[in-house]
Amino acid sequence: MQLLALLLATSAFTASATSNIDNGPFQSDLNGSNFTYGQPLKLLRFHSQGLPLEMAFIDLPPIADTVTTSEPQHVRYTRKKPGHKPKTALLLHGKNFCSVTWSATGYALQQAGYRVIIPDQIGFCKSSKPGANYQYSLHQLALNTHSLLSALNLTGPGGSDVTVVGHSLGGMLATRFSLLYPELVSRLVLVNPIGLEPYLEVGVPYPDLSATLRTEQASNYQSIREYEQSTYYLGAWAREYDVWAVMLAQIYSGSEAQKFSEGQARVVDMVLTQPVYYEFPRVQPNTLLIIGTKDTTAIGKQWSPPSVQERLGKYENLGKETAKKIANCTLVEFEGLGHAPQIQAPHRFHETLLEWLRT
Ligand SMILES: *[C@@H]1O[C@H](CO)[C@@H](O)[C@H](O)[C@H]1NC(C)=O
Ligand SMILES: *[C@@H]1O[C@H](CO)[C@@H](O)[C@H](O)[C@H]1NC(C)=O
Ligand SMILES: *[C@@H]1O[C@H](CO)[C@@H](O)[C@H](O)[C@H]1NC(C)=O
Ligand SMILES: CC(=O)N[C@H]1CO[C@H](CO)[C@@H](O)[C@@H]1O
């Protein structure tokens, strides 16, 4: 009886470690997203808020640490050096992106000896879309991500040395994840994160959920492209930007369209009402802050009065201000790049990232 109580208590905080990873294969249209991922996809099946959910993720083995046998599907891990924890990179996507957007970075980190885990968050991309039935919070998304690492046996004493890399909303989530699980995160990399300013306090009018829901429901390829072209990419457009806009537009019109929009509206509410802004001084890991200084992203800018708009999204200042607040932060500013340096200038981005990780 006591053992059962203990088991229940333990499993209340993490996903259980047995047989909840589904290695697929899966159909290409998964939970409302039909984008073809180049990498094999896995699913974590778990319960959260009383709901059975699936969290899709990409899992890349470290290339430097593996030996491929004559049968290419069998990958053998080399023996760990004693006292040397394997390195894991956890890559967190932004609101308008998916795990697969991190593919090139995942490949670069794989070559550098990292096992790379790239989840689609609940409500996004190829993961479950619980819609209005779910309480979205940065803490909940961080807990779900921790449950994934736990199910992969990457947490705990014998676990892994985890580097968390987050872009845009994923940067805000990476910050929250580091605050919640400081013992797990050895390094933190933030790439044009949102949440570097307290949007409501700066003057963004708080919107009713029905207003954000209408905006989400009206999203399509044209609106996504116009927004990203002007806000992310300095007015330019290229094939490398288009692929992610097409991927996202398909989810807004896909088989889970309504539930996707319900979730995304709540995600906007989450970003506005759950700032990490005040907690940067508590961030413990060594941090690399990569900022494309021409980025102008700010949540709620579109519906703010002009006097507020002109104060928001000034990444040429936000990087410097944030770097001063984090105890151990290296700031790298990319002059002339916008919201997604890893997409705009992948070579430069990966060079910077890998060089910092080597030191
Ligand atoms: C995904 O769906 C869209 C629209 O329904 C379609 O045009 C596109 O070809 C599909 N893509 C894939 C990879 O199946
Ligand atoms: C995690 O460890 C447990 C206990 O050793 C094992 O049963 C399980 O298969 C492992 N899970 C994964 C995904 O490696
Ligand atoms: C900052 O990082 C350096 C290098 O890892 C380390 O030596 C130093 O103790 C850290 N400082 C703080 C305040 O954490
Ligand atoms: C709610 C829902 O339809 N979830 C599905 C997500 O995709 C997985 C894998 O195909 C299914 O098992 C779930 O039922």
pLDDT in tens, 35-44: 999 988 999 9
**Nearest CA, atom 11, ligand 3:** 328
pLDDT score recorded for residue 184:
96
160 within 8 A of 126, measured Cβ to Cβ: no
Average pLDDT over residues 150-157: 90
Q: Is 211 exposed, middle or buried (0-12, 13-18, 19+ CB in 10 A)?
A: middle
Per-residue pLDDT tens digits for 304-326: 999 999 999 999 999 999 999 99
Q: Please state the atom number of ligand 1 nearest to the C-alpha of residue 36.
A: 13
Q: How confident is the model at residue 83 (pLDDT cuts 50, 70, 90)?
A: low
pLDDT score recorded for residue 10:
46
The alpha carbon of 123 is separated from its chain's Cα centroid by a whole number of angstroms, namely: 12
Average pLDDT over residues 140-146: 98
Pairing of strands 286-292, 185-191: parallel
Q: Identity (one letter) of the amino acid at 152?
A: L
32 within 8 A of 257, measured Cβ to Cβ: yes
Per-residue pLDDT tens digits for 94-122: 999 999 999 999 999 999 999 999 999 99
Find, among 202, 231, 195, the residue nearest to 322 by Cα: 195
Quick check: 73 pLDDT over 80? no
Per-residue pLDDT tens digits for 160-191: 899 999 999 999 999 999 999 999 999 999 99
Any ligand 3 atom below 6 A from CB of 110: no
CA distance 191 to 349: 10
**Nearest CA, atom 10, ligand 1:** 34
Per-residue pLDDT tens digits for 3-33: 444 444 444 455 444 459 999 999 999 999 9
pLDDT score recorded for residue 356:
98
Quick check: 84 pLDDT over 80? no
Per-residue pLDDT tens digits for 232-245: 999 999 999 999 99
282 within 8 A of 184, measured Cβ to Cβ: no
Q: Separation of 29 CA from ligand 4 center, angstroms?
A: 10
pLDDT score recorded for residue 158:
75
Quick check: 213 pLDDT over 70? yes
| Mean pLDDT score of the chain | 91
Any ligand 4 atom below 6 A from CB of 54: yes
Quick check: 79 pLDDT over 70? no
Any ligand 3 atom below 6 A from CB of 182: no
Buried b / exposed e across 127-144, counting CB within 10 Å, b at 16+? bbbbbeebebbbbbbbbb
Domains along the chain with CATH numbers: 2-358 (3.40.50.1820)
Bond prior to 25 in cis (omega within 30° of 0): yes
Buried b / exposed e across 271-305, counting CB within 10 Å, b at 16+? bbeebbbeebeebebbbbbbbbbbbbbbbbbeebe
Quick check: 1 pLDDT over 50? no
**DSSP secondary structure string for all residues of 155-204:** SSTTS-EEEEEEETHHHHHHHHHHHH-TTTEEEEEEES-S-SS-HHHHTP
**Nearest CA, atom 4, ligand 2:** 17
Which of 27, 45, 128 gets mutated to test ligand 4 (max ligand atoms within 8 A of its CB)? 128
CA distance 321 to 309: 19
The model's pTM is 0.91
Ligand 1 pocket residues where CB is under 6 Å:
28, 34, 36, 250
Quick check: 81 pLDDT over 60? no
**Nearest CA, atom 8, ligand 3:** 328
pLDDT score recorded for residue 285:
97
